[in-house]
Structures are given as C-alpha cells and as structure tokens.
Amino acid sequence: MMRKILITISNLSVSAELNSSISADKIWEALPLSGSVNVWGDEIYFEIPVSLKEVSDAQQEVEVGTLAYWPPGSALCVFFGKTPVSTSDKPKAYSPVNILGLVDGDSKVFKIVEAGDQIVIDKET
C-alpha cells in the first residue's frame, strides 16, 4: 500500500511517500505532526513526539530527497543536499538515521525554508 504524505511549510507543499518500515509505520500512526523547523546545511528537521530506537539498517549517508528519523533528537528530517559533515555530494546525517521514505520530485525546493518556519506533515488526501 502506498502511503503518501504532504509536507507543508508556509506556501510550500511537497508530497512524499513512506516506505514499509516499522519506523515509517509509527510515523504514519502519529500523523498529523507539526513543529518549528531547524536547518542544518541542506537538511531540515523538527522534533516530534515519537520516540524510536535506531534500527539495524540505519544509515548515515543518504540519497537526496530522503525522509528520515533521527533517534538521538526524536526528529523527522528531510535531506535535500550536502550537510556540514558530508564527505561527497550526498547528504550525510550527524549520526545514523532510520529511513522513512522519499520526497516526490525535486527536493531542492526546500532550500527556501528558514529556521523557525512552521511545518505540518499529514496524510495526503
């Protein structure tokens, strides 16, 4: 079953698809989620009231457009380019993240997002 979500920040609305992982299941069940955005290089993230452990297949280097969960900060992350710890053109998390899915289309649209912007993630209808 395809699980589509909508990420809304100010005037920006972007669709994404959750994978079939247990982490993604927990996020899906917790929707809608909202908060205040933090920016770290070409990554946005915000703290959510969902506590998950790091999974065995957690990754530190991810693909552009990856939606992930960062266990140490209980944060939902969207990676759209290099971060301060990237060693290549790929995004690299501060520490391993649980992969939740992928943004549809060009994730570079998140470059306009600023720290403190309000974000809402909900099931796409």
Give the right CATH number for 3-123 from 3.30.560.10, 2.60.120.1090, 2.40.100.20, 3.40.120.10: 2.40.100.20
Spans of all domains in the chain:
3-123
Distance between CA atoms of 100 and 32, rounded to whole angstroms?
15
Give per-residue pLDDT as tens, 74-91. Answer: 999 999 999 999 999 999
With a CB cutoff of 8 Å and minimum separation 6, the contacts of 118 are: 9, 10, 34, 35, 36, 37
The model's pTM is 0.96
- For 87-116, the DSSP string reads SSSS-EEEEEEEEEEEESS-GGGGGG--TT
What single-letter amino acid sits at 39?
V
How far does Cα 79 stand from its chain's mean position? 6
Give per-residue pLDDT as tens, 88-121. Answer: 999 999 999 999 999 999 999 999 999 999 999 9
22 to each of 29, 37, 54, 69, 71, how far by Cα in Å? 11, 24, 11, 12, 14
Distance between CA atoms of 15 and 21, rounded to whole angstroms?
18
